[in-house]
Amino acid sequence: MATILTILGKHPQFGHQCFVAPNATIVGDVVMGDDCSVWFNAVIRGDVHYIKMGNKVNVQDGAVIHCTYQKNPTVIGNNVSIGHNALVHGCTLHDNVLIGMGAIVMDRCVVHSHSIIAAGAVLLEGTIVEAGTIYAGVPAKKVKDISQELIHGEIERISNNYIKYASWYTNSNAQ
């Protein structure tokens, strides 16, 4: 069973049809929209500030979402995928964003809509990612503008796939 804890009188709130893996941890002031999924060994800690997530957000295996004490909350828009072992900390992710596996998004970063942060990239504190771009590297820099095909082919595909994967765990009739 997942670890879901109330901290200082604040408890996680879940939208409709959310899936939380049995060994995920969600604590404190966390609000999720509809059709979200939190996968195995993921940690979402709203203990030192709030975390707000839109609809169709998937937090993949081993990812960590946290904030900075009394300074930087974490705000995540709709249709966002946070890859395996990524770290998202005290930042803002707008709609239709893909955070690649093992990427790090640090305090006060803003990732605008229709953007991809490549696997292993490190967005240094305060980085602003332009809408419709791909950032990669350490430290992460803009590598190119994103095509409409990539927005639909990757960002939307991954987000929709995670709704399907969650249904395998919540619907006993899923094949």
What fold, for 3-169? UDP N-Acetylglucosamine Acyltransferase; domain 1 (2.160.10)
C-alpha gyration radius of the chain: 15
Tokens representing 44? 């979402």
φ, ψ (nearest 5 deg) of residue 92? -125, 125
Q: What is the pLDDT along the chain (175 residues), one digit of tens a residue?
A: 999 999 999 999 999 999 999 999 999 999 999 999 999 999 999 999 999 999 999 999 999 999 999 999 999 999 999 999 999 999 999 999 999 999 999 999 999 999 999 999 999 999 999 999 999 999 999 999 998 887 778 888 999 999 999 999 987 544 4
Of the candidates 106, 172, 112, 164, the one whose C-alpha atom is nearest the C-alpha of residue 142 is 112
Spatial distance between the Cα atoms of 89 and 68, rounded to a whole number of angstroms: 7
* Domains of the chain, residue spans: 3-169
DSSP 95-149: SSEEEPTT-EE-TT-EE-SSEEEPTT-EE-TT-EEPTTEEEETTTTEEEEEPPHH
